[in-house]
Amino acid sequence: MVRWQHGLWLFFLPSFGLLAVVLLWPLGYAVYLSFFDYYLGSGERTFVGLANYIDLLTEARLWNSMWTTIIIAFGSVALEFLVGFALALALYRLNGSAKVFSVLLFLPHIVTPVVAALFLKWMLASNWGFIDATLLTFNIEPADWLGSPVWAKVSVILADAWVFTPLVMMVLYAALQGLDTSLLEAAQIDGASSWNTLRHVIIPALIPAIIFVISIRLMDVFRFFDLIYVLTGGGPGTATETITMYTYQLGFRMLEVGKASALGVITLIVVAILLLTINRGLNKAYRGGDR
Binding positions for another protein, rule: CB under 8 A: 180, 182-183, 185-193, 196, 200-201, 204-205, 207, 286-287, 289-291
Nearer to another protein, 117 or 210 (CB): 210
Q: Shortest distance, CB of residue 252 to another protein, whole angstroms?
A: 48
Counting Cα atoms < 13 Å in the Cβ hemisphere of 157 gives: 21
- Give me the helices (H) in 178-237, please: 181-189, 194-197, 203-222, 226-231
E-assigned strand segments in the chain:
36-39, 44-47
Residue 62: partners with Cβ closer than 8 Å, 6 or more residues away: 56, 243, 246, 263, 266
Q: Shortest distance, CB of residue 202 to another protein, whole angstroms?
A: 11
Nearer to another protein, 74 or 286 (CB): 286
Residue 273: CB atoms within 10 Å: 10
Q: Shortest distance, CB of residue 139 to another protein, whole angstroms?
A: 49
Q: Which of 132, 116, 127 is nearest to 166 (CA)?
A: 116
Q: Which of 80, 104, 101 is nearest to 92 (CA)?
A: 101
| Three-class SS state of 3 | coil
> How would you classify residue 188: left for phi > 0, otherwise alpha for psi between -120 and 50, otherwise beta?
alpha
Buried-state track 169-202, b at ≥16 Cβ within 10 A, e below 16? bbbbbebbeeeeeeebeebeeeebeeeebbeebb
Nearer to another protein, 187 or 262 (CB): 187
- Give me the helices (H) in 6-59, please: 12-19, 25-33, 51-58
Helix (H) or strand (E) holding 149: helix 149-177
Q: Shortest distance, CB of residue 206 to another protein, whole angstroms?
A: 11
Nearer to another protein, 59 or 185 (CB): 185
Q: Shortest distance, CB of residue 289 to another protein, whole angstroms?
A: 6
Q: Which of 239, 240, 241, 244 is nearest to 223 (CA)?
A: 244
Q: Shortest distance, CB of residue 287 to another protein, whole angstroms?
A: 7
Nearer to another protein, 139 or 182 (CB): 182
Q: Shortest distance, CB of residue 37 to another protein, whole angstroms?
A: 53
